[in-house]
């Protein structure tokens, strides 16, 4: 009986040892946020969260430096403003996600450019076209809607939202280490940046198959349970 219980313990441990968040690396933006917008954390906890729109993408949301009751953002102050998140050391990544909106937006305009740099010196840049890649954070403002393709990550229920943007990294980054991430404001439509997360999974994939160690534990668990059942069966037949 004890051996059977032990086998079940191994089996249970194998099942729960594959957390969905293991493939994600969230970035702490506390030292980069410069304010907040009209999104309070009534249902969005400050800290690690997957939002409230069932995207399953985790972000580490900062508190506002001006008002800890609000989630913090980097709001681009002017045309040409640059934010550079340095000190990153993230290797073997396939994709990344960012909470990115505009304070105001214009359809068809390149709002801002995003650039990632690797330890090898390689870099990749992405434009952010209004109505294609990014939209206004005011969910109920329809006169400047730029809402074609981004995915809603959080909605405060009273007119504001955060959107998650999904990026595919070039295959070269699978063998490189990302060292910096930057946003350059390219228009007068101020960028809103609230979260950054990297993933070893392809873009849009939020759960991984069990890791080799977990597969091993599963096999051991099944083997032990099967062995105990055979032993029990043999004992009954000999009685």
Residue of 61, 71, 93 lying closest to 196 (CA atoms): 61
Domain locations along the chain? 22-206
pLDDT of 132 reads 85
pLDDT in tens, 63-111: 999 888 899 999 999 999 999 999 999 999 999 999 999 988 788 889 9
Conformational region of residue 131, where left means phi above 0, alpha means psi within -120 to 50, and beta covers everything else = left
pLDDT of 89 reads 96
pLDDT of 148 reads 52
Give the Å distances, CA to CA, from 88 to 136, 179, 196: 28, 4, 11
pLDDT of 56 reads 93
pLDDT of 6 reads 36
**What value does the mean pLDDT take over residues 13-25?**
58
Residue 161 predicted with pLDDT over 80:
yes
- Kindly indicate the confidence band of residue 209, based on its pLDDT and cuts at 50, 70 and 90: low
**What value does the mean pLDDT take over residues 14-34?**
76
pLDDT of 44 reads 83
**What value does the mean pLDDT take over residues 7-26?**
53
What is the third-level CATH fold of 22-206?
Jelly Rolls (2.60.120)
């Amino acid at each position: 009986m004890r051996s059977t219980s032990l086998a079940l313990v191994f089996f249970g441990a194998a099942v729960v040892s594959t957390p969905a968040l293991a493939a994600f690396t969230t970035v702490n933006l506390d030292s980069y946020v410069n304010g907040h917008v009209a999104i309070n954390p009534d249902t969005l906890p400050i800290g690690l969260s997957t939002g409230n729109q069932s995207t399953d993408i985790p972000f580490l949301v900062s508190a506002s430096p001006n008002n800890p009751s609000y989630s913090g953002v980097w709001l681009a102050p002017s045309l040409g403003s640059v934010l550079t998140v340095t000190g990153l050391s993230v290797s073997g990544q396939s994709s990344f996600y960012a909470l990115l909106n505009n304070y105001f937006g214009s359809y068809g305009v390149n709002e801002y450019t995003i650039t990632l740099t690797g330890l090898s010196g390689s870099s990749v840049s992405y434009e952010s076209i209004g109505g294609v890649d990014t939209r206004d954070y005011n969910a109920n403002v329809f006169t400047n809607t730029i809402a074609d393709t981004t995915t809603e990550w959080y909605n405060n229920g009273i007119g504001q939202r955060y959107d998650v943007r999904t990026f595919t990294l070039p295959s070269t980054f699978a063998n490189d280490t990302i060292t910096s991430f930057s946003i350059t404001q390219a228009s007068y439509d101020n960028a809103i940046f609230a979260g950054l997360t990297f993933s070893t999974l392809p873009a849009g994939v939020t759960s991984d198959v069990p890791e080799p160690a977990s597969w091993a534990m599963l096999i051991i668990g099944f083997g032990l349970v099967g062995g105990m059942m055979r032993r029990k069966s043999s004992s009954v037949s000999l009685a």
